[in-house]
A = this chain, B = another copy of it.
Amino acid sequence: MEYQYLQLANDLELKIRSGNYRAGEKLPSLRTQRLRTGRSISTVYQAYNELEDRGVVEVREKSGFYVKPLLDKVLPRPLSDRRTIEPLKVTTNTHAMILQEYINNPEMLPLGTAIPAPELLPLKQLGRELRQAAAGYTTGAMIGYGHPTGVPELRSELAKRSVGYFSKERGEELIVTDGCLAAIDLCLRAIAGEGDVILIESPTFLCYLQLIEDLKMRALEIPVDPDSGFDLDMVEKALDEHDVKGALVNGNFHNPLGYVLQTKMKERLVEMLGKREIPLIEDDIYGDLHFSETRPVPLKSFDTKGLVLYCSSFTKSLAPDLRIGWTMPGRFKERIKRIKFNRSVACSQLNQVVAARFLASGAHDRHLRRMRNSLKKQAANLVMGIARYFPPGTRVSSPKGGLTLWVELDKRVDGLKLFDRAAKENIAIIPGSLCTVTGRYNHCLRLNFGYPWDDRMEHGIERLGHLIDEMIAENSG
């Protein structure tokens, strides 16, 4: 016969995994639980401790037991497809454009675009800084062109924040852009031309593919492991076999999979490319959104040759509407300064000053701590929701940070069709086939966990589960 406390613990774990308790929610007090279950205080206490041992709840001193964000051991990981791929012309744009229409439609459940919910952002403080910054318009001081590389206050705040990862001189390289993608666009233009081959992860962030298509370059996709990213031997082989002009890598909280490259691997990758004088564009946009205690290091921290072009932005972690990104492009600084100046002279000082004032206020670190905490819970709730409503055989990646996770479904699911059907029910998702040009991953989805888990979200995931069930049934025997 099972111990009473184990029975209770199993019971509670089931409830947690079935969504009756959500990540971050407080379990009933010992007293309440005693009244509910009729067990003794000590049995309840033992059960709670058992759940803590299982990693399902955590104790907060003088407060009680809370459901932990469960990311692991909920569903198995996606399988890694290790077949290599030739450089390909990119052709995903047509479908990707449909997504445009969903960005500003509040009726769509926001599981598509990787974007944080407004309630996760420091709205009041930003509004306050903005009203203060307005004086720069009234006096005329801020009405003309800003400095082409960015307003000095912002550049210095950003440089300050990169200390510890980069040497002080790196701050001098910094060029402010109108977002991270815009920075990557500049970097790609600086290092390659039409027809050139860019090495990327597979699956990858769909906008990389679209940028590469627009620049008439070709993509060489290297399959990555859902947990560890690149197999560097595969990367080396690809570099031997192809005339690779540059690499575009999202090593910290990879979009879509959510993994982080191990530090040793980062070092080896930078070295491997550096030895061949191949520039590496690093997208670190999710670097500040880590679920563990410490921020992972950027690839650029291992760059000794000025060959890593670091890119990031405030879009995912502070406010998308600021449209502020930046790059530290190493030896390509002058070329990028020039291309940026020639196509838009300078970015708006207004938005830059708002961000600079916010950073200088010291509120940014507090904001990030809160935001990371929310995102971790949201990711866990999404994973558990998928576990409840998606059919058996579903696999899910285990994001270590960022905003997205990757779902691998039964092969009978056609992701593009699912995308259409979900859209009709006002659910936005990203079909896996947009994250590659190889035709793989059509049975996969990328989902955004930037929004809090609520009934609408629960209902949406449930509906999505039904749509998947239906499609599997349609395509069976």
Binding site for B on A (CB under 8 A): 93, 96-97, 100, 103-104, 113, 115, 118-119, 121, 123-124, 126-127, 130-131, 134-135, 137-148, 178-179, 181-182, 185, 189, 193-194, 207, 210-211, 213-214, 216, 319-323, 334, 337-339, 341-351
Contacts and interface: CB of A to CB of B under 8 A. Distances in A.
A199 B216 CA distance: 22
Contacts of A320: 143-145, 345
Q: How many copies of this protein are present in the complex?
A: 2
Nearest to A450: B144
Given A103-B148, A118-B143, A193-B194, A322 B348 contact: yes
17 contacts: A93-B338, A100-B148, A103-B346, A123-B143, A126-B138, A126-B143, A127-B135, A130-B350, A178-B323, A179-B344, A179-B345, A194-B194, A194-B216, A210-B342, A213-B342, A321-B350, A323-B348
Contacts of A144: 103-104, 115, 118, 320-321
Contacts of A344: 178-179, 181-182, 185, 323
A409 to B, nearest CB: 27
Given A182-B343, A193-B216, A348-B322, A143 B131 contact: no
A403 to B, nearest CB: 13
Contact of A321 (B96, B119, B142): B142
A398 to B, nearest CB: 27
Given A134-B130, A343-B211, A350-B321, A145 B103 contact: yes
6 A-B pairs closest in CB distance = A118-B140, A127-B138, A210-B342, A130-B134, A185-B343, A127-B137
Which of A119, A211, A216, A320 gathers the greatest number of chain B CB atoms within 10 Å?
A320
Given A143-B321, A178-B344, A214-B343, 14 more contacts: A96-B342, A97-B338, A103-B145, A123-B138, A134-B134, A137-B321, A144-B321, A146-B321, A179-B345, A181-B342, A181-B343, A321-B348, A323-B348, A348-B351
A178 B178 CA distance: 9
Contacts of A147: 103-104
A235 B118 CA distance: 54
A144 B347 CA distance: 18
Contacts of A182: 343-344
A140 to B, nearest CB: 3
Contacts of A119: 140
A214 B339 contact: yes
A137 B119 CA distance: 11
Contacts of A131: 131, 134
B143 A137 contact: no
Contacts of A189: 214
Contacts of A322: 348
A334 to B, nearest CB: 8
A225 to B, nearest CB: 28
A140 B143 CA distance: 25
A98 to B, nearest CB: 11
Contacts of A350: 130, 321, 350-351
A404 B404 CA distance: 50
A368 B47 CA distance: 75
Nearest to A325: B344
